[in-house]
């Protein structure tokens, strides 16, 4: 077993690894290969293998003692993690396709109808610009937009008022 695998088990368990945890950590490369062959993506495979190890470590006191039984049990858990990963992938794909379809309905303007306003907005600090845009474009109230940005409602109202005055003076 590699030192890296032992460190993985130690980090996940929060203590020095037990014999069972070392066995589980030893299965990590095998489980990663299992997921890689089924998911086709190294990052997804590593995530699924880590998820499997977390589930197994959470059940460490109830796991089989024998190495082969533990291995079979680990593959059973891995299969459930794989099914969940595939369902998640399907949901993400469906959502992405639906969003792409909706985005086609919204056509960006071919030119900027208010270049002076755009220029004035671009000169604002990011947080101030975001406050204005959350209110104007997204339809949030000033207090709601302030909450999104971590501002109290009073601070958001004060900042919003000052920003509107600043924009009025720049645009007049």
Supply the pTM of this predicted model.
0.50
User: What phi and psi, each to the nearest 5 degrees, are found at residue 124?
Assistant: -75, 150
CB distance 141 to 135 below 8 Å: yes
Closest to 2 in 3D by CA, of 33, 36, 29 = 29
Residue in this structure with the two tokens 């589980």, named with its chain if needed: 24
How many residues does the structure list for the chain?
Answer: 172
pLDDT tens per residue, range 16-59: 767 777 888 888 999 999 999 999 999 999 999 999 999 998 88
């Amino acid at each position: 077993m590699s030192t890296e695998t032992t460190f993985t088990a130690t980090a996940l368990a929060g203590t020095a690894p037990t014999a069972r945890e070392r066995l589980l950590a030893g299965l990590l490369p095998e489980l990663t290969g299992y997921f890689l062959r089924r998911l086709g993506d190294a990052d997804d495979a590593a995530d699924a293998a880590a998820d499997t190890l977390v589930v197994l470590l959470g059940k460490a006191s109830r796991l089989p003692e024998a190495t082969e039984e533990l291995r079979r049990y680990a593959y059973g858990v891995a299969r459930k993690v794989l099914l969940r990963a595939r369902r998640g992938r399907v949901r993400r794909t469906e959502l992405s396709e639906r969003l792409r379809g909706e985005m086609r309905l919204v056509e960006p303007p071919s030119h900027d109808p208010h270049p002076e306003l755009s220029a004035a907005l671009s000169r604002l600090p990011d947080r101030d610009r975001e406050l204005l845009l959350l209110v104007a474009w997204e339809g949030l109230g000033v207090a709601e937009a302030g909450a999104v940005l971590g501002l109290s409602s009073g601070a958001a109202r004060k900042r919003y008022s000052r920003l509107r005055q600043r924009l009025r003076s720049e645009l007049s």
